[in-house]
Amino acid sequence: MILKKMKYCEYSSLPKAWCFDEFNLGKINLLVGKNASGKTRTLSSIFNIANLVCGDVQLIFKTGDYALELENGTDKYKYMLKYENKAIIKETLVLNDVTLVDRGLDGTGIILFEENKNFLKFQVPNNQLACVVRRDSIQHPFFQSLYDWGKATRLYSFGTELGRTSFAVYNSQNSIDNPNLKEPSAADVVRIYKKGIDQYGNEYNNLIIKSMSELGYNIKDIGVEPNPDIKIINSLAELAGHMMFVVEEDIDTKIYQLKLSQGMFRCLSLFAELYYAKLAGNPDLIIIDDIGEGLDFERSTSLIKMLIDIAKNSSFQLIMSTNDRFVMNNVPLEYWQIIQRRGGHCKIYNYENSKRIFSNFEYTGLSNFDFFATDFNSIGQEDK
């Protein structure tokens, strides 16, 4: 499932309104904008709706108005959710121009029952999403793709620890295969890595090691095991805290993740997720905010090129954000999403809606950052 279009608004009738207009997304995207232009907030809005449709979170904000389009092969989904004061006003799901679900303020609506191909009335609590509470692989299988997309969406804030101080606990009753365990999040790098190594073995490990080496982190081995310095005591037993480790080429000892540099661990964590998604063939959405933050120029530019190459040859969709000129200069304009904010209103410009301006700039010979630094007052006008 690929996110093709999205728009969002909150508190639309109030002075504190914040919205972004509908914009198109490709398989690879770089959201660029000045500080406080709305990059992080836009990415968070995408991540929030993904969490809502898979049921990982409830309506935690008072208001929201989402409209998104997704593609799953030849199928095209349109999903709309609008709520105020944590009460859902409207929720619809359209598949290939056929409305399958339409519910209103009191939670009542109509829904397609697959078995007999009839539309019947239904009702759900007005603070719960129909796509979550009515998910049924027999009667309403159309919800499954939406659920899978939401569940497979990850948000990485590259300027944060990305789980460096986190660990996992495993015993005979609490293994990676336990179906009661919640799906790993972006901060659960230990569990993501363990899933990868358990399922794909050396192939998975070697991909990560190779990419880390290409970034200048010369390591010969990585793994996950109990960190002898971390013990968790509960009423039943003493449990070990599992962490990732690396072995560098010139130091024949294990270095656990707590002692890795923040930049090194950020890259390790990211590759663990991306290569798992690649080998599993998962149609994930990988969102990376402030990509390259905390890395030197050479590593930052190399990482961007590697991420684009991985995404090109994988099934997952990639959305990154930056205001770093070195990152911008190493991402082709065809992947750019330029965000501009006027008060609480954001517009996002790209090749789809401003093709003439993007195309004309490519003939100037200037750097991508020069394009970013240009006055975009004319951008977004329809091509004549």
Predicted local distance difference test score (pLDDT) of residue 207: 96
Considering only CA atoms, which of 100, 96, 121 is closest in space to residue 112? 100
Could you give the 3-state DSSP secondary structure of residue 158? coil
User: For 38, which DSSP code?
Assistant: S
pLDDT at 2 over 50: yes
- What span, in angstroms and rounded, lies between the C-alpha atoms of 349 and 339? 7
Contact 107, 117 (CB under 8 A): no
Predicted local distance difference test score (pLDDT) of residue 327: 85
Predicted local distance difference test score (pLDDT) of residue 179: 36
Contact 196, 271 (CB under 8 A): no
pLDDT in tens, 117-145: 999 999 999 999 999 999 998 999 999 99
Predicted local distance difference test score (pLDDT) of residue 238: 55
Predicted local distance difference test score (pLDDT) of residue 143: 95
The answer to which of 59-68, 177-186, 352-361 has the lowest mean pLDDT is 177-186
| Percent over 70 (pLDDT), the chain | 90
To which H or E segment does residue 272 belong?
helix 262-280
- What span, in angstroms and rounded, lies between the C-alpha atoms of 291 and 293? 6
pLDDT at 382 over 50: no
Q: How far is CA 350 from CA 15, 87, 338, 342, 374, in A?
A: 28, 34, 6, 18, 15
Mean pLDDT over residues 293-318, rounded?
A: 91
Mean pLDDT is highest, among 89-93, 104-108, 155-159, for 89-93
| Strands annotated E in 96-218 | 98-103, 108-113, 118-123, 153-157, 168-169
The whole-chain average pLDDT of the chain stands at 87
pLDDT in tens, 188-239: 889 889 999 999 999 999 999 999 999 999 999 999 988 887 766 665 555 5
pTM (2 d.p.): 0.89
Predicted local distance difference test score (pLDDT) of residue 236: 52
